[in-house]
């Protein structure tokens, strides 16, 4: 009976050792897989963080460029109030000289008609001269529109006359004026209105938000990974 019991104990001990060895091998394989996963995720996390930082940096640069160009022009503009202008007079007064490029170090003289448009703002009786936009106002203090100088002056003349006829037929047009009345000129359109500024700032804002979210997701993933490792150590 002793030999039989000893043989059974030896057999059971051998099986227990085999189970431990098998469990240990599985555990070593599991740990190795986890290490491989962590090693594979580490470069991916670094690349994701660099991507997020790059997106944030590019959005900041875009904000800087927009701030010194569009936003500065928008804030410096005095034509902030929108009203209704009634066209009183729209006539071509004279021909203005301009120059166009005909090649390297070659410039030639052409002409364009000067269209003058006078309007009444909001039926107040105040007569003002109408300009197309801020660039036209800076280029010419007399003409409604300054077209690009071309060799074919007749085509430019026809275009200006067409604009004049449309203004006469429309009679009422939306316009922008200076509420402080320091500038007598009113504008037909603004180069940079609120809608344009909003759409200009939309893309850098999306880029900034996307970069910040990428970095936050990577940091959250790292935190959850460390938390899971600590829980597994406690359970073991």
User: Quick check: 209 pLDDT over 90?
Assistant: yes
pLDDT tens digits, one per residue of 127-158: 889 999 888 888 777 888 888 888 888 888 88
pLDDT tens digits, one per residue of 50-75: 898 999 999 999 999 988 888 888 88
Residues 210 and 147 occupy one common structural domain: no
Any residues with CB less than 8 A from the CB of 56 and at least 6 apart, and which? 207, 208, 211, 212, 215
Tokens 């037929």, located at residue: 169
- Among 137-141, 205-209, 230-234, which range has the highest average pLDDT? 205-209
In this structure, is residue 144 part of a structural domain? Answer: yes
**SS3 per residue for 221-236:** HHHHHHHHHHHHHHHC
Tokens 């022009």, located at residue: 73
In this structure, is residue 196 part of a structural domain? Answer: yes
pTM summary value: 0.62
pLDDT tens digits, one per residue of 73-83: 888 888 888 88
Residues 153 and 59 occupy one common structural domain: no
Residues 82 and 181 occupy one common structural domain: yes
Longest pairwise C-alpha distance within the chain = 131
Question: How far does Cα 182 stand from its chain's mean position?
Answer: 34
In this structure, is residue 32 part of a structural domain? Answer: no
Residues 206 and 147 occupy one common structural domain: no
**Number of folded domains that form the chain:** 2
Nearest to 160 by CA among 140, 177, 175, 174: 140
Q: How far apart are CA 148 and CA 111, in angstroms?
A: 10
- Domain of 178 in residue numbering reads as 78-191
User: Quick check: 17 pLDDT over 70?
Assistant: no
């Amino acid at each position: 009976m002793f030999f039989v019991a000893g043989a059974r104990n030896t057999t059971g001990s051998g099986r227990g050792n085999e189970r431990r060895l098998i469990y240990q091998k599985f555990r070593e394989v599991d740990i190795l897989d986890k290490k491989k996963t962590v090693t594979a995720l580490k470069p991916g996390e670094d690349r994701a963080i660099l991507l997020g930082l790059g997106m944030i940096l590019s959005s900041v640069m875009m904000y800087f460029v927009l701030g010194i160009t569009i936003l500065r022009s928008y804030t410096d503009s005095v034509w902030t109030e929108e009203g209704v202008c009634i066209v009183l007079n729209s006539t071509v007064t004279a021909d203005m000289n301009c120059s166009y490029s005909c090649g390297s170090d070659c410039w030639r003289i052409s002409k364009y008609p000067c269209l003058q448009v006078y309007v009444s703002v909001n039926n107040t009786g105040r007569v003002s001269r109408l300009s197309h936009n801020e660039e036209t106002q800076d280029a010419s203090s007399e003409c409604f529109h300054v077209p690009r100088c071309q060799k074919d002056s007749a085509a430019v003349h026809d275009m200006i006359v067409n604009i004049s006829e449309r203004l006469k037929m429309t009679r009422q047009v939306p316009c922008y004026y200076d509420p402080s009345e320091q500038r007598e000129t009113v504008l037909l359109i603004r180069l940079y209105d609120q809608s344009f500024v909003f759409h200009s700032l939309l893309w850098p804002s999306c880029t900034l938000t996307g970069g910040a979210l990428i970095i936050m997701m990577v940091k959250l993933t790292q935190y959850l990974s460390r938390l899971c490792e600590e829980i597994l150590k406690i359970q073991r």
